[in-house]
A and B are shown apart, each in its own frame.
Chain A
Amino acid sequence: MSSTANMELKSKEFALVGFLAIAVAVLAALFPNLGANADGNVDWISIPLVGFPIIAGVILLAFASQESRATQKKIAAPIRLASLCFSLIPLGISTALFFDWLIAVDWAILGYNEYVLDSQYLWMESIGVSWHVGMDGLSFPMVWLTTFLVPITMIMTWDEKDGATYHPILLLMGGALIGVFVALDLFMFYIFWELTLIPMFFLILKWGGSDRRYAAQKFFIYTFTASLVMLLGLITLYFLQPEGNGPFHGTITGRTFDMTTLFANAAAYNLGDNVFLGLEMQKILFVLLMIGFLVKLPAVPFHTWLPDAHVQAPTGGSMILAGVMLKMGAYGIMRIPIAIFPDALVYYQDVIMAIGLISLVWGSVVCLGQTNLKKMIAYSSVSHMGVILLGIASMQPLGYAAALFMMFAHGIISPMLFAVCGAFKHHYHSMEIGDMRGMAKWSPFLSVYMMFAWMASLGLPLLAGFVAELMILLAYWPIYGWWILLPGAVLAITAGYFLWSMQRTIFEGGDEGQPPASLNGETPPDITMPENIGMIILAVFTVIFGIFPFIALGMMDDWTVALFEGVFNKGGI
């Protein structure tokens, strides 16, 4: 026996020393000249927002996963507390950046292709890869959203089983997601884009529902395949761009993965009637990139992975998935294809509009027929993502700002929807809409949150979702005219299915209600304290951004104006 114990000790030491060594080596490799920021600013992004959560998550995971199950139970409490504290650091930093406590940022003066905290380090000089981070009005709201959602998710699912590994994975996930949003290098962008798959795969696989195996694999394969298509587009784009000899151009290839250089090249070439690479090539590359982004978004007909993933994912996984991961698709569209292929975008404007409309209509109509609460919410996400595509297809600054705000608002509202579903499942052991009736009787708190989240999602004025929907319809009208009746009607359907499901769940069932059969006659409990805290915070922010949308909308507007001047202006005026 003692020899076995010894062996375990040895392998644990191996693990810890090894992971620490890897972490140090990775850090050393990534940041050869840390702090050498071009502007002389402290680099608040690379380590604090991206590197730290990932490395802290990996080390906590390495530490926890080596323990036996019994020990894991014992150390779950300190580890989840540590994870929560660690996740608060990025939140503090991103909030401080917003309030100008760390550096003075004026988002309004950022021109096209200009970034806050722009820091670039050489990474792989042979093929022109650099570690390039920076934020602008497009990425900052997403970064803040991610840093905000990770601790909320941790609080909301505080008691998840196997907490010793669950919370570090969320921490790791947050770092990877922020990496996607701050990356200004195509290679780095792709790496983080794929890196987010692995923690989510494990979240679904380990903590998911009964059919998690299928859902996790489908999620991974579906999105991985799509991003491979995107990668082919990126590599082709890489080799088609003109050769250069800047500091971040590959010594072997002569090209660079740096997005800012690429945007500048494209914008400089696109003046007048010139079309960067020619319309034919633009169309092909645009389609290749869009396949990757549309699957992630997801838009009909590439959405089939989403309902499976959501229904099987644990509450925390769903919250992050709907709150941030779906936005990666919209963010990618806004960041790369629009800036480089504006002519292809104009060419495919109607197609994108059609895809958006189809997603919107399809998602809503399918929602009407759902009996599973979570599946309904998943399809409602599809329909909301369709609204974002409508905003992009409108080709107007207002529409773009609205799409951005939709991403942001949906990023706050949809986690709350899934949190309500999670609490429902957690306490009533059922996901079926008809199972629980008269919830108001038994669970007043959950009923209130449910009503609030449902109202926010269907677009009640004064809540964040309304602002975005209204703006998108406003931008839609001048371009497509009376076609606006279609999205308008669909918004009515949206209200219909949300209200219908709410009515069946919260109110029906007579004076005493009908507790679900799965409780076996026990009194249905109300939600727990951590869930309460999380939902209150989400609800408060939904109201704040509903009444004062300009807090976030201001920088989005500025970004949109700069984008239109930089990309679609084509040297006019």
Chain B
Amino acid sequence: MQTVEAFSSEFWTAFAPETVLLLGLAALFIIPNLGNAKLRIPLTQVKIPWFFGGRRFRLTGAAHLPGLIAVGTLFSAFFLATWSQFDDTFTATVVVAGDIQLLKIDAFSRLFEIIFLGAVFLASMASLDRVPATIFEETDEMEEMYDNRRQADLYLLMLTTALGMSLVALAQDMFVLFIGLELASFATYVLVAFHKESKAGAEGGVKYFIVGSVASAVGLYGLSLLYLWAGSLQLDVLAATWSTNGSEVLPIVALGFILVGFGFKVSAAPFHFAAPDAYSGANSPVAGLLATASKGMGIVGLIRVLIVIATPDVGAGSAIWLIALAVLAVVTMTWGNIAALGSTNPKRMLAYSSVAHAGYMLAALAAVGAWVNGDIEGPEDYGAAVIGAVLFHLTVLVAFKLGAFLVLGLLEMEGGASRLSSLAGLGRRDPLLATSMFIFMMALAGVPPLAGFMSKFLIIAGLVKVGVGEMWAAGGPVSFADIHWVWWLALAMFVNSALSVFYYLRIGVIMFLEPPEEGRRKPLPYGISIRMTIWVCVVATILLGVSGDFLIQLCYSAAETLF
């Protein structure tokens, strides 16, 4: 394992994506503010050019500029992260400050970075159209400047989200993880409320902020209990301590509190109440971001806490969170699906469907837990197969969940997407868009050969694998009673998938069968970048379903680094 000191020269090359993000943030702070301001040297009449403020230059003050900077930055960061995933120069790099490990680059953390940066990149691409930079016909410079400021704000928040998420992925210390989580969370709180024109945006933002900060506080309390218990928040120290005396009451209680904190992030029931409001209030690219990358952030946290820290234990205490997690998973997926059945707002429906998807991932984590805790005899690849399936799910979720939100975003640009009937007639008005939306819906429902099927299939296969274990290895009859209870989680997932088909299919029926709403018969706004993004999502949804093999292997090898 290669170690680098913080802020040494290798540090910047190893953390190139984050460095690029920081540079992009700096550029977003500085460039839009460049103007012809002059600074008068005190007590003299000498004015020297100062460039910050004043009348903005035509080039640097252009309203489109922040968006382009952000998209460029995110793309470079995404590219660098992907590059380093395939080029293993900096795998297993630990940054040490003193003897404390803060960040670690390995296949696992890089994969999550790719997911996060890719999702934020796509959302920013879409925001170029969704939150358009308006240039007024009459030269109202103040208006234009405000508009410019708003653009810069939006993309600053996007970049901050990306940076925070990267920190979460890389963190080797629970406190660093928490800081990254909060950095990303606070940016998303503002992003949700960013549409100040609509009441729903502000309301959703406030709800999301209040519930989110309560959840964070509870999680932080849990962390403090952990610190009290182990004297450190380092992952390896915690894991070592857990393996010796993990069955004490204190860490179990702490784990419960932390579960609440991350449970909110992945919008697991019963901590999901803010999610539907937040999703429907936020503009669609941001809602898509919440449903994909933000959820992934919670999953990283859960994996770190549950799989890395809490599972070396083979004592009695570990079973408590395992059963709790399994119950939570089943409740979450069922609750999400049943609530989605009844929702008439497509964004709320997608929010509940994302709750259901969180349930599927929690079920997978419960299965890994059951394996690591020694309930099931099996080789090393058991846990990696299941975690790999979760990683695959999170990766392809970016394609179809974000894609579905972006289709709604295009409808929002035209005049709202808050009713199911907003989608009516889409099959006639824009067949391509309707087909894309139908593909996303089918992927969410898990219809082959789309990526959504592959991801659900892999998770279920992982559950069954853990549940069935090595039963046939010896040959001879296999008893049904010997099958581990994890197998029943797979059954619960099937029942829920069947439930969910109904509301996903309903979207298709409405798009292709019902006539459009009054006043929505004209062609949809064009929006080149949002359409391009949707196309990328469609192609990824199909391709990763039909030939997702390389991604499966990537996810699997990433998951292997955990064990």
Considering only CB atoms, which chain B residue lies closest to A229 in the complex? B494
> Which residues on the A side are within 8 Å of B477 (C-beta)?
275, 277-281
A10, B509: Cβ atoms closer than 8 Å:
no
Q: Give min CB distance, A306 to chain B, whole Å.
A: 18
Distance between Cα atoms of A46 and B136 in the complex (Å): 58
A231, B546: Cβ atoms closer than 8 Å:
no
Cβ of A445 within 8 Å of any chain B Cβ, yes or no, is no
Distance between Cα atoms of A229 and B460 in the complex (Å): 12
> Which residues on the A side are within 8 Å of B491 (C-beta)?
232
Cβ of A65 within 8 Å of any chain B Cβ, yes or no, is yes
Q: Which residues in window 267-284 of A have CB below 8 A to B? A: 269, 275, 277-281, 284
Query: When each residue 443-481 of chain B gets 1 if its CB lies under 8 Å from chain A and 0 otherwise, what string results?
Result: 001011100010001101100110010011101111110
Interface size on B, residues (CB 8 A): 60
Q: Indicate which residue in A22, A231, A284 contacts B543 across the interface (CB closer than 8 Å).
A: A22
Q: Which residues in window 40-68 of A have CB below 8 A to B? A: 65-66
Cβ of A191 within 8 Å of any chain B Cβ, yes or no, is yes
B435, A65: Cβ atoms closer than 8 Å:
yes
Considering only CB atoms, which chain B residue lies closest to A122 in the complex? B549
Query: When each residue 193-229 of chain A gets 1 if its CB lies under 8 Å from chain B and 0 otherwise, what string results?
Result: 0110110011001100000110011001100110011
Q: Indicate which residue in A15, A25, A252 contacts B381 across the interface (CB closer than 8 Å).
A: A252
Considering only CB atoms, which chain A residue lies closest to B381 in the complex? A252
B461, A127: Cβ atoms closer than 8 Å:
yes
Q: Give min CB distance, A281 to chain B, whole Å.
A: 4
Which of B83-91, B242-250, B367-375, B531-539 contacts its partner?
A: B531-539
> Which residues on the A side are within 8 Å of B479 (C-beta)?
278, 280-281
Distance between Cα atoms of A241 and B480 in the complex (Å): 15
Q: Give min CB distance, B458 to chain A, whole Å.
A: 8
Distance between Cα atoms of A15 and B539 in the complex (Å): 11
Give the one of A4, A123, A228, A253 with max B CB within 10 A: A228
Q: Which residues in window 329-373 of B have CB below 8 A to A? A: none
Given contacts A225-B498, A284-B480, contact A239 B553 (CB under 8 A): no
Query: When each residue 530-563 of chain B gets 1 if its CB lies under 8 Å from chain A and 0 otherwise, what string results?
Result: 0100010011001100111100110010000000
A126, B556: Cβ atoms closer than 8 Å:
yes
A239, B430: Cβ atoms closer than 8 Å:
no
Q: Indicate which residue in B448, B465, B472, B549 contacts A195 across the interface (CB closer than 8 Å).
A: B448
A216, B490: Cβ atoms closer than 8 Å:
no
Q: Give min CB distance, A527 to chain B, whole Å.
A: 29
Cβ of B523 within 8 Å of any chain A Cβ, yes or no, is yes
Distance between Cα atoms of A127 and B502 in the complex (Å): 29
Cβ of B512 within 8 Å of any chain A Cβ, yes or no, is yes
Considering only CB atoms, which chain B residue lies closest to A64 in the complex? B431
Considering only CB atoms, which chain A residue lies closest to B491 in the complex? A232
Distance between Cα atoms of A123 and B431 in the complex (Å): 31
Main secondary structure of the interface of A (DSSP, over half): helix
Distance between Cα atoms of A458 and B447 in the complex (Å): 38
Given contacts A14-B432, A15-B432, A126-B556, contact A238 B461 (CB under 8 A): yes
Given contacts A29-B543, A191-B448, A205-B512, contact A225 B501 (CB under 8 A): yes
Cβ of A160 within 8 Å of any chain B Cβ, yes or no, is no
Q: Which residues in window 167-203 of A have CB below 8 A to B? A: 190-191, 194-195, 197-198, 201-202
Q: Indicate which residue in B476, B505, B531, B543 contacts A217 across the interface (CB closer than 8 Å).
A: B505
Q: Give min CB distance, B340 to chain A, whole Å.
A: 14
Q: What total of A-B pairs shows CB separation below 8 Å?
A: 158
Given contacts A18-B538, A278-B478, contact A221 B501 (CB under 8 A): yes
Q: Indicate which residue in A11, A194, A202, A252 contacts B448 across the interface (CB closer than 8 Å).
A: A194
> Which residues on the A side are within 8 Å of B431 (C-beta)?
65-66
Give the one of B384, B448, B458, B549 with max A CB within 10 A: B448
Distance between Cα atoms of A125 and B547 in the complex (Å): 10
A22, B539: Cβ atoms closer than 8 Å:
yes
Distance between Cα atoms of A242 and B474 in the complex (Å): 9
B531, A11: Cβ atoms closer than 8 Å:
yes
B509, A213: Cβ atoms closer than 8 Å:
yes
> Which residues on the A side are within 8 Å of B464 (C-beta)?
232, 235-236, 238-239
Q: Indicate which residue in A14, A126, A197, A212 contacts B552 across the interface (CB closer than 8 Å).
A: A126
A124, B542: Cβ atoms closer than 8 Å:
no
Cβ of B288 within 8 Å of any chain A Cβ, yes or no, is no
Q: Indicate which residue in A18, A205, A225, A281 contacts B480 across the interface (CB closer than 8 Å).
A: A281
Cβ of A512 within 8 Å of any chain B Cβ, yes or no, is no
A252, B430: Cβ atoms closer than 8 Å:
no
A232, B553: Cβ atoms closer than 8 Å:
no
Distance between Cα atoms of A202 and B508 in the complex (Å): 10
Return the 9 tightest CB-CB contacts between A and B, nearest first. Answer: A278-B477, A29-B547, A225-B498, A191-B448, A124-B549, A65-B431, A281-B478, A126-B552, A239-B468
Which residues of A are at the interface with B, using a C-beta cutoff of 8 A?
A: 4, 7-8, 10-11, 14-15, 18, 21-22, 25-26, 29-30, 65-66, 69, 123-127, 190-191, 194-195, 197-198, 201-202, 205-206, 212-213, 216-217, 220-221, 224-225, 228-229, 231-232, 235-236, 238-243, 251-253, 269, 275, 277-281, 284
For this complex, 21 residue pairs linking A to B, each with C-beta atoms less than 8 Å apart, are: A10-B526, A22-B543, A65-B435, A66-B431, A123-B547, A124-B549, A127-B458, A191-B449, A194-B447, A195-B448, A205-B512, A213-B509, A216-B509, A221-B505, A225-B501, A231-B494, A239-B464, A241-B472, A252-B556, A277-B472, A277-B477
Which residues of B are at the interface with A, using a C-beta cutoff of 8 A?
A: 381, 384-385, 388, 428, 430-432, 435, 442, 445, 447-449, 453, 457-458, 460-461, 464-465, 468, 471-473, 475-480, 487, 490-491, 494, 497-498, 501-502, 505-506, 508-509, 512-513, 523, 526, 531, 535, 538-539, 542-543, 546-549, 552-553, 556
